[in-house]
Structure 1
Amino acid sequence: MTFLRILLLLSLAFSVRETLADTNQSRPLRRLREEQRVIDLYKRARDAVVYISTHTVVSEADGAVGSAVPLAVGAGTGIIVDAEKRIILTNFHVIRDAVSISIVLFDSESYPARLLGTDPENDIAVLQLVDAPQELTAVEFGDSQSLEIGQKVYSIGNPHGLERTLTSGIISSLHRSVKGPENFLLRDLIQTDADINPGSSGGPLLDLSGKVVRINSSTMSQTGDSAGIGF
Structure 2
Amino acid sequence: MTPPKHIWSGNWENESEEDARRRAEAEAERRAHPQPDPAEAPTTVGRAYAPSPDADGDAPRRRPSRGRIAAFTTVALLAVGGGAFAAGTLLDNDDDSATKIARPAALPAVASKPIKPTRGQTRAGAIYAQASPAVVSIRNGQGSGTGFLIDDEGTLVTNDHVVDTAKTVQVKFGTDGRTINGNVKGVDPSSDLAVVHIDASSIPSGAKPLQFADSTGVSVGDVAIAIGNPFGLDRTVTEGIVSSLGRTLQAPNGFQIDDVIQTDAAINPGNSGGPLLDDGGKVIGVNSQIATNGVSAGNVGIGFAVPSNTVRQVLPGLKDGRTVQHAWLGVETAQTVTGSMTAGAQIASVVTGGPAESGGLQAGDVVTRIDGQRINDASDLSSYINTKAPDDKITLTVERNGSKSDVDVTLKNRPAKIP
State the TM-score bracket (shorter-chain normalisation): 0.7 to 0.9
Aligned mates of 1:54, 1:97 — CA distance in 2? 9
Q: 2:265 aligns with which of 187, 190, 194?
A: 194
How far is the alpha carbon of 1:37 from its aligned partner?
2.5
Aligned mates of 1:99, 1:115 — CA distance in 2? 5
Letter in 2 for 1:123: D
The total of aligned residue pairs comes to 183
Could you give the per-residue CA deviations for residues 2-43 of structure 1, whole angstroms, max 9, x where no partner exists? Answer: xxxxxxxxxxxxxxxxxxxxxxxxxxxxx9869533211110
- SS, match of residue 226 in structure 2: strand
Structure 2 CA distance for partners of 1:34 and 1:190, relative to 1, 3 Å: farther
How far is the alpha carbon of 1:196 from its aligned partner?
1.0
1:93 aligns with 2:161: yes
How far is the alpha carbon of 1:174 from its aligned partner?
0.3
Q: 1:157 aligns with which of 228, 237, 259?
A: 228
Aligned mates of 2:120, 2:273 — CA distance in 1? 27
Aligned mates of 2:182, 2:203 — CA distance in 1? 13
Q: 1:219 aligns with which of 273, 290, 294?
A: 290
Normalized per residue, the structure richer in strand is 1
Match of 1:126 in 2: 195
How far is the alpha carbon of 1:140 from its aligned partner?
1.7
Could you give the per-residue CA deviations for residues 167-202 of structure 1, whole angstroms, max 9, x where no partner exists? Answer: 111111001112245433111100011111110000
Q: CA RMSD in A?
A: 2.0
Match of 2:211 in 1: 140
Match of 1:115 in 2: 184
Match of 2:151 in 1: 82
Larger radius of gyration: 1
> Normalized against structure 1, the TM-score is what?
0.74
Match of 2:248 in 1: 177
Aligned mates of 1:220, 1:35 — CA distance in 2? 32
Aligned mates of 2:203, 2:212 — CA distance in 1? 23
Contact 1:181 / 1:218 at 8 angstroms: preserved in 2?
no
Could you give the per-residue CA deviations for residues 20-69 of structure 1, whole angstroms, max 9, x where no partner exists? Answer: xxxxxxxxxxx9869533211110000110000112xxxxxxxxxxxxxx
Q: Bigger CA drift: 182-191 or 132-141?
A: 132-141
Match of 2:302 in 1: 229
Match of 1:104 in 2: 172
Letter in 2 for 1:227: V
Identity of aligned residues (%): 39
How far is the alpha carbon of 1:74 from its aligned partner?
1.5
> Normalized against structure 2, the TM-score is what?
0.42
Consecutive unaligned residues in structure 2, runs of 5 or more: 1-116, 305-419
Consecutive unaligned residues in structure 1, runs of 5 or more: 1-30, 56-72
Q: Bigger CA drift: 129-138 or 157-166?
A: 129-138
Aligned mates of 2:178, 2:300 — CA distance in 1? 32
How far is the alpha carbon of 1:133 from its aligned partner?
3.9
Letter in 1 for 2:264: D
Match of 2:364 in 1: none
Aligned mates of 1:181, 1:224 — CA distance in 2? 19
How far is the alpha carbon of 1:224 from its aligned partner?
4.0
1:46 aligns with 2:132: yes
Contact 1:180 / 1:218 at 8 angstroms: preserved in 2?
no
Contact 2:135 / 2:173 at 8 angstroms: preserved in 1?
yes
Aligned mates of 1:181, 1:158 — CA distance in 2? 21
Aligned mates of 1:89, 1:50 — CA distance in 2? 10
